[in-house]
Amino acid sequence: MVQEIKKSVCYFCKGYCPVLVITENGRLTSVEDDPSDPGLNTIFPRTKGCIRRRAAKEFMYHPDRVHFPLKRAGERGEGKWERISWEQVFDEITKRLQGIKDRYGAEAVAGVKGTFRNKSFQTRFFMLFGSPNSTTAGKICYGPLFAVSNAMFGWSGGRYSFPGGHRVVGGVIPKCIFLTGTDPLESWPRVANIVRESKKAGGKLVAVDPRETWLTKQADIWLQLRPGTDTALFMSMIHVIIEEGFCDTDFVEKWCYGFDKLAERAREYPPEKVAGITWVPADKIREAARMLGQKKPFYTWNGMGTEQLHNSIQAIHARFILAAITGSIDVEGGTYVGRPGKMRGIDDTCATEKLPPEQRRKQLGADRFRFTSFPGYELIAENTMRVHGRMPPGEPTATASPHQPTIYRAMITGQPYPVKGLIVHAHNPMVVQANTKLVYKALKSLDLSVVMDYWLTPTAELADYVLPVASWLERPDFMGDYGGEQALPSCIPGECDHKNDFEIFRGLGTRLGQDWPWESLEEVFDYCLEPGGMTFKQFLKRENQGVPVIRYKNYEKTGFATTTGKAELYSTILEKLGYDPLPQYEEPPETPVSKPELAEEYPLILITGGRFRPLFHSEWRQIESIRRLHPYPLAQVHRETAQGLGIHDGDWIWIESPRGRIRMKCQHYEGIDRRVVHCQHGWWYPELPGEEPWLHGVWESNVNVLTDDDPDRCNPMTGGWPLRTALCKIYKMKQY
């Protein structure tokens, strides 16, 4: 019996914990936390207590996992599959991709990708293929945060913007924290730890959330706002800070651009007026602004609650303005902006520059949503190249990406041009993309649909090819400042034959004559590490991995990498793109205020996307040990609202929006406003049949049946679709 212990990086959530993988004869025995990891105690809840980690073996060897490449054997969606070899996969798919390219142009092939389950080589493939239409969920998931930070500050710390860098090893505990639309206990273990440490050390916490969560319970001030009104709230706080003299005058004068215009704009948001918009009392708005003003510098971060608003860019812009005018940017205890590191990242293998300008101009949705597509990206890149000699941080598939709702519409209508092929990469648009009914029609209309996944998801069930992907356990990993070995073989003859996304895209790319100079992921990592004079193997042997070098106030050396060299409160990039350069609150498209007549039929405000353990997005529903802990979808409704409708705690109810209806179990919850309903996201039922019309129960409880993705209702700058405001009604499900 050969027992081995490998260091690896767990991808089961956004914690990316370093872990030890224990194997026996090449088979997984268990996954443990890594006591030698210097960041072990920077994660809360601790890796040790993680239920998902404990389910690793169940995940790895689950009988439903896709272990070999599959080709559709019946009609699309009929649930009939034939096992084929990788050789056949590569030959057939490349032939069909080339066929579409020859007939319709490269832009007729699109790519969509989910939250990280792989490294991201999709971008390189598409850039070299010549299609501008490769994207991620980035428009609604940190694409906005990256893009706004890049535009305002010329760089973005991203994950590293957590105080003291990625982890708090020897770092600074912030004295004050301002978090909006996030509940880190459920979603960001590293941020949750910071909150805990800060609170223990007597720090202050201001939390913005329409629902009561673990975080709001820790908060000194909880602002329970009306969903979708964050921009108004933040602008009002800015107003108070300016009016009451809490600005960091030095920083503002020396390093901020457009303060006067900001002050003028902020005057439109007096707390008394904003209280009417946000449901947050004026006193509380003042109190929160004063706390931030008095305790500055403060650390700030936002979750999806803010990213997925109709007003996302404006809200994040306003949040960063709050940080900037209080001098909370790039200082100890503040939000780290950072600068490019020495090493390269996967972003540096994307070959964005290889996509010809005429193809860039064809990017779907980029003419309308210019900020996080090529037009905005290129403007930002001019600055970062000039100052840092590097392309902007953040994956181009998030910050220079086409607009998914526009892509799906092009598939259906052929306008502005046909989209005939799609590569889906660890993504489940039938569940996690808004407006499922439209997505369904689009996917059904394709000539070629390739899905790379672990499971036959509802999306995979509609594919022509399903390719089994290697998980983090079966590939090496490099996270920039730490990494891991490959713990398990990705191929065991007769048992499984997985490939990682690098191998798959390289396999397709090389057959299409593309340039893929590296033969394996290790070689890619060697390339990334080259500037540090290290190979990946050497890097892995290094002690004290994952302690990044933090250098504050980098702007004093180089200036901000923006057009003006300053932190742009007034964004010249937004201005150049034809947008309002300052945040301005707009009522979301579907609220009782903007649509009073619709609200007569659908009187409640629907929000969704609040994270809940132990599930993660649309994953884990087939893992027994996990699912048993959370067997069904929950809709949180205030007890009084529910009782008024004759709905008991635990009753199944219908939730109906103008777009459709789904059923969930009603949870009486007093931590939500009486006028608001929160539905969990990501629900499908792997235990239901895969063939149509079942599609693993994708129509049963999938909240995206209810959400909208109409481009007219998307954020005008990014095209992000509004997942956090819709109107709905609820009623009891009739059961005999």
Partner 1 sequence: MAQETKRVVCEYCKGYCRVVAYTENSRLIKAEEDRSYPLVDQIFPPTKACVKLRAAKEIMYHPDRVNFPLKRAGSKGEGKWKQISWKEAFGEIAEKIRGIKDKHGAEAIAGTKGTFRTRNFMPRFFNLLGSPNSSGQGKICAGPISEVGAAMFGWPLGRRGYMDGKPKSVFLVGANPAVAWPRVWEPVREMKKSGGMLIVIDCRRTETAALADLWLQPRPGTDIALLLSMAQVIIEEKLYAREFVEKWCYGFDKLAERAREYPPEKIAEITWVSADKIREAARMLAKHSPHYSWNGMGIEQQQGTIDALQARFILAAITGSIDVEGGNYLPGPGKIRGISQIDANDRLSPEQKRRQLGAERFRFTSLPGFDLILENTKRVWGRPHQEQTMGASAHQPTLYRAMLTGHPYPVRGMITLAHNPMVTQANTKLVYKAIKSLDLYVVLDYWLTPSAELADYVLPAASGWERPFLAGNYGGEQAVPSSIPGEYDHKTDFEIFRELGIRLEQEKDWPWKDLEEVYDYWLEPVGMSFREFMDKGGYVSRPAEFKKYERMGFATPSGKAELYSTIFEKLGYDPLPKYEEAFETPISRPDLAKEYPLMLITGGRFNPLFHSEFRQIDSLRRRHPDPLVQVHPETAKSLGINDGDWVWIESPRGRIKMKCQYFDGIYEQVAHCEHGWWFPELPGEEPWLHGVWESNVNVLMDDDPDHCNEKSGGWPLRTALCKIYKVKQYSQTNGRDDYKNKISQTRRQFIEPESD
- Work out how close the CB of 370 gets to partner 1 at its nearest, in angstroms, rounded to a whole number: 33
Among the listed residues 202, 513, 517, 693, the single contact to partner 1 using CB under 8 A = 693
Whether the bond between 603 and the residue before it is cis, its omega within 30 degrees of 0, is no
Q: Is 734 a residue that touches partner 1 (CB under 8 A)?
A: yes
Helix (H) or strand (E) holding 134: strand 134-136
Shortest distance, position 382 Cβ to partner 1, whole Å: 45
Residue 691 within binding range of partner 1, rule CB under 8 A: yes
Whichever of 108 and 443 has its CB closer to partner 1, that residue is 443
Judged by CB under 8 A, does residue 687 bind partner 1? yes
Those residues whose C-beta lies under 8 Å from the C-beta of residue 245, and which sit 6 or more positions away, are: none
Cβ-based nearer residue to partner 1, 288 or 606: 606
User: Which stretch in 152-160, 519-527, 553-561, 685-693 sits in contact with partner 1 by CB under 8 A?
Assistant: 685-693
* Residue 471 buriedness (CB in 10 A; 0-12 / 13-18 / 19+): buried
Q: CA-to-CA distance for 48 and 44, rounded, in angstroms?
A: 10
Shortest distance, position 490 Cβ to partner 1, whole Å:
29
On whether the CB atoms of residues 594 and 404 are closer than 8 A, the answer is no
Nearer to partner 1, 527 or 654 (CB): 654
- Closest distance of CB 179 from partner 1, Å: 19
- Which one of 175-183, 273-281, 445-453, 727-735 is the stretch in contact with partner 1 (CB under 8 A)? 727-735
Binding of residue 689 to partner 1 (CB under 8 A): yes
Q: 41-60 mask for partner 1 (x: CB under 8 A)?
A: ---xxx-xxxx---------
Residue with Cβ nearer partner 1 (92 or 651): 651
Q: Closer to partner 1 at the Cβ: 40 or 491?
A: 40
Cis ω before 45 (30° cut-off from 0) = yes
Least separation in angstroms between CB 22 and partner 1: 18
* By the rule CB under 8 A, 30 interacts with partner 1: no
In this structure, how many other beta carbons lie within 10 angstroms of the beta carbon of residue 202? 8
Identify how many contiguous H helices and E strands the chain contains and give both numbers. 29, 26
202 binds partner 1 (CB under 8 A): no
| Least distance in angstroms from the C-beta of 692 to partner 1 | 8
User: For residues 83 and 553, which CB has a smaller minimum distance to partner 1 in the complex?
Assistant: 83
DSSP-assigned letters across all residues of 206-253: EEE-SB--HHHHH-SEEE-PPTT-HHHHHHHHHHHHHHTT-S-HHHHH
* HSE value, Cβ hemisphere, 13 Å, CA-based, for 624: 7
Residue 87 contacts by C-beta under 8 Å, 6 or more apart in sequence?
none
Q: Which uninterrupted H or E stretch holds 7? A: strand 3-9
Collapsed DSSP state (helix, strand, coil) of residue 360: helix
Amino acid letter, 254:
K
Q: Is the peptide bond before 429 cis (omega within 30 degrees of 0)?
A: no
| Residue 397 vs 704, nearer CB to partner 1 | 704
We find the least distance from the C-beta atom of residue 47 to partner 1, in angstroms, to be 9
| From 236-244, 371-379, 418-426, 683-691, span contacting partner 1 (CB under 8 A) | 683-691
3-state secondary structure 109-127: EEEEECCCCCCCCHHHHHH
Task: Write down the least CB distance from residue 606 to partner 1, Å.
Answer: 17
In DSSP notation, 305-332 reads: HHHTSTTHHHHHHHHHHHHHHTT-BSST
Between 192 and 380, CB nearer to partner 1: 192
Cβ nearer to partner 1, comparing 170 with 650:
650
Q: Which of residues 613-672 bind partner 1 (CB under 8 A)?
A: 613-614, 627-632, 634, 648-652, 654, 660-661, 665, 667
| Residue among 214 and 527 whose Cβ is closer to partner 1 | 214
Q: Which is nearer to partner 1, 342 or 437 (CB)?
A: 437
Binding region for partner 1 (CB under 8 A) out of 227-235, 271-279, 340-348, 693-701? 693-701
> Tokens 């499900």 label which residue?
733
Closest contact distance (angstroms) between CB of 649 and partner 1 is 7
Residue 177, beta-bridge partner list: 205, 299
Residue of 199, 223, 172, 209 whose CA lies nearest to 334: 172
Binders of partner 1: how many residues, by CB under 8 A? 36
Give the interface with partner 1 as residue ranges (CB under 8 A): 44-46, 48-51, 613-614, 627-632, 634, 648-652, 654, 660-661, 665, 667, 687, 689, 691, 693-694, 699, 733-736
